């Protein structure tokens, strides 16, 4: 297993915990993974893989460019965008489509469950909730305003990363 895959696995585990339980993507972890990934790619370039650093930077740029419009529209947090860029840097641009598809399918299922809960289609899933509450929503501190928690997309990106790594390693050793 390469060092960048190991960094991606450790970062992915931290992102899952942070996004699911704290609803935060820690910038320190993203920066550490970015610097660690760059160091690995530069070492590979010195060892003779002249395209390693270029592929890493291309992956970073594509990852950020693909999700940035969703952040600018207010549909996604900046942490999700930065994380997808770091994924591109660590795994390369070739991993991004598969990671994105897996994450988007999971997020779509999550969104469908949220919608079903709001429409009372699956009321039996939340029998202890009051009529004023909806699944995965929390009241804001401002009166009259409800702030939804959204979907933990970075956690779902991590699932895509783990799936891509399993398939990638299976292709190397299978």
Distances (CA, A) of 21 to 18, 25, 155: 6, 11, 10
pLDDT of amino acid 80 = 96
Q: Kindly report the average pLDDT of the chain as a whole number.
A: 85
Which of 156, 109, 113 lies closest to 135 in space, CA to CA? Answer: 113
pLDDT of amino acid 143 = 45
Share of the chain above pLDDT 90, in %: 63
Work out the pLDDT band at 150, boundaries 50, 70, 90: confident
What's the mean pLDDT in 67-72? Answer: 96
Work out the pLDDT band at 62, boundaries 50, 70, 90: very high
């Amino acid at each position: 297993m390469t060092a960048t895959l190991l960094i991606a696995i450790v970062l992915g585990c931290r992102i899952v915990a942070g996004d699911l339980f704290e609803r935060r993507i820690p910038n320190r972890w993203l920066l550490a993974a970015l610097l660690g990934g760059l160091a690995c790619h530069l070492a590979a370039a010195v060892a003779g893989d002249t395209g390693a650093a270029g592929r890493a930077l291309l992956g970073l740029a594509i990852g950020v460019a693909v999700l940035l419009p969703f952040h600018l529209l207010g549909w996604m947090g900046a942490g999700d965008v930065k994380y997808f860029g770091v994924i591109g840097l660590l795994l390369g641009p070739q991993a991004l489509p598969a990671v994105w598809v897996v994450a988007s399918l999971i997020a779509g299922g999550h969104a469908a469950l949220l919608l079903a809960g709001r429409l009372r289609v699956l009321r039996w899933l939340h029998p202890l909730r009051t009529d004023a509450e909806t699944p995965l929503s929390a009241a804001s501190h401002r009166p009259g305003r409800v702030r939804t928690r959204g979907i933990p997309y970075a956690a779902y990106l991590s699932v895509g990363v783990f799936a891509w790594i399993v398939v990638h390693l299976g292709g190397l050793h299978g």
